[in-house]
Structure 1
Amino acid sequence: MSSSPLPRPVEILPSVLTADYARLGEACIGLEAGGVDRIHWDVMDGNFVPNLSFGADIIRSLRPVVGLPFEAHLMVVEPTWILESMVAAGCERITVHAEACTHLHRTLGRIAELGVAAGVALNPGTPAEAVADVLDLVDLVLVMTVNPGFGGQSYLASMEPKIARVRSMIDASGRDIDLEVDGGIAPATIAAAATAGANAFVVGSAMFRDPEGFTHATADLRSRAEAAGAR
């Protein structure tokens, strides 16, 4: 019988999708100084989601000037072709969508073969049970709290029961797996996501629009999640 893992630390993960691209390097350096835990790159192919974003060359160009870990969230159909370039660009975590992979086990296994952490993401319409058979292959599960493709969307509180269900599945597995949420995370919503069971929080607009800057935004979000009992 597996034992419940220890609580996971709160992680604040800025999505640079909402950054000023003309000053992307400055933004990443400022985020690091502000105390965030890693940089979250939303990689979109214009097919799985109706938008295009960053490629490996842009990510690679920032790697020499930022000491934080990088994670790539691949909103890409059949993403196996892009995995090696993401690792070469300096990403230590790669998350793929369950809905985008015909052979999810194989794709997650390939990520592990490349020597980086593997994650699986679920769109709002995909049930928690879609990850049940791959929990032994992942280091994180990402529950989308908006429909992916664009920044600045409103948080879907209706995803909280799914977050709680995924948390229960993770705990039952006995493995140390981060439960990440992405979409509409802000001071007004982070506590609810934390209470539901998330411990890692992708933050876009709320980070870049805080008038007091990155350090304040990071500390405020972290304290709210911790006070809500994020695990």
Structure 2
Amino acid sequence: MTATTAALATVLAQARPGRLLVEASLWSADPRRLHHELACIAALADLLHVDASDGRFASAPQFTPTALSRLPAVGRPVHVHLMAARPLEQIAAWVQAGADLITVHAEAEHAEEALLTLRDLNVGCGLAVRLDSDPSVVQQFADLIDVLIMIGTPLGTKGTSMAPQAPRRLAEVRALLDAHHSATSIHSIDDGADDGAARWVPIIADGGIRPDTVPSLTLAGAGGVVAGSMLFTSPDPAGTLAWLRSPGGEAP
């Protein structure tokens, strides 16, 4: 199960203020009907989101590379959220299994080296920041990442309400990234390197994604959400996904 690098770039380019990317979290799918639910949701979502853990950084082991490799191809990029203290030890297995985008944690060992390794492997690079970490940590990684995940609940938990400080933290990181890339673009113009267009790195909100939390995350500058039970248990997945992309009015 894999999508091309070009397909991933096309999907990420769709993220912009007011138009959220929607990642479908396979953690919320029914394991007994996984292939059926995958086929239904993949036709709607922008990316498939796979949670993976070493069992220590986050307690539940969740998906494995072997499980990912056995999923049928559905034509959507696969985003692996790697909750591991030593991501370098696992990256190769996930790439071989079909990951198109791999997110490692800012709190992990050798996180920068892991991101550089992903770049060398021509795989999308993501960074995740836990709820208990200083948001300013993203600055040192800003030029290495394609996406940023801001965790809004205790890591590795399911069905937990979003922490009230999550939108504020996301807004703070949005401002940090925008200021950094704006400054970088100005330097590029001065150096004659390009047209100076500033990068816009999507911030994906993960945890507690519900009808009453998505609007505040959107206003804070989110570029996407990881939708789990809200999407998989919806009586109208297409309507729910359409609302998530541009939240406004009453949620279905």
* Shared fold (TM-score, shorter chain, > 0.5): yes
- The whole-number CA distance in structure 2 between the counterparts of 1:81 and 1:112 is 16
Q: Match for 2:239 among 195, 216, 220?
A: 216
Question: Which amino acid in 2 is paired with 1:169?
Answer: L
CA contact (8 A) 2:77 2:99 kept: yes
What is the aligned partner in structure 1 of residue 30 from structure 2? 20
What is the aligned partner in structure 2 of residue 201 from structure 1? 225
Task: Report SS of the residue matched to 1:136.
Answer: coil
- The whole-number CA distance in structure 1 between the counterparts of 2:24 and 2:227 is 5
What is the aligned partner in structure 2 of residue 190 from structure 1? 214
1:62-211 matches, cutoff 5 A: 62=71, 64-100=72-108, 102-174=109-181, 175-211=199-235
Deviation at 1:68, TM superposition (A): 0.7
Question: Which amino acid in 1 is paired with 2:130?
Answer: N
Q: 1:65 to 1:104 in 2, by over 3 A?
A: closer
CA deviation vs aligned residue, 1:150-171 (integer Å, no higher than 9, x gap): 2211111211111011101111
Deviation at 1:222, TM superposition (A): 1.7
CA contact (8 A) 1:60 1:89 kept: yes
CA deviation vs aligned residue, 1:168-197 (integer Å, no higher than 9, x gap): 111112223111110011111111101011
Structure number with bigger Rg: 2
Q: 4+ residue stretches of structure 1 with deviation over 3 A?
A: 6-9
Task: Report SS of the residue matched to 1:77.
Answer: coil
Q: Match for 1:29 among 24, 29, 39?
A: 39
Q: Match for 2:62 among 53, 59, 64?
A: 53
What is the aligned partner in structure 1 of residue 51 from structure 2? 42
**Gaps in structure 1 of 5+ consecutive residues:** 1-5
CA contact (8 A) 2:65 2:94 kept: yes
Over the matched positions of the two proteins, sequence identity in percent amounts to 32
- The whole-number CA distance in structure 1 between the counterparts of 2:242 and 2:138 is 31
Task: Report SS of the residue matched to 2:79.
Answer: strand
Task: Report SS of the residue matched to 1:53.
Answer: coil
CA contact (8 A) 2:48 2:78 kept: yes
CA contact (8 A) 1:141 1:177 kept: yes
- The whole-number CA distance in structure 2 between the counterparts of 1:140 and 1:41 is 15
Question: Which amino acid in 2 is paired with 1:195?
Answer: L
Deviation at 1:24, TM superposition (A): 1.1
**Gaps in structure 2 of 5+ consecutive residues:** 1-14, 182-198
CA contact (8 A) 2:20 2:246 kept: no
CA contact (8 A) 2:20 2:224 kept: yes
CA contact (8 A) 1:51 1:149 kept: yes
Deviation at 1:26, TM superposition (A): 1.1
CA RMSD of aligned residues (A): 1.6
- The whole-number CA distance in structure 1 between the counterparts of 2:77 and 2:65 is 15
Q: Report how many aligned residue pairs link the two structures.
A: 217
CA contact (8 A) 1:74 1:97 kept: yes
Task: Report SS of the residue matched to 2:246.
Answer: helix
CA contact (8 A) 1:146 1:153 kept: yes
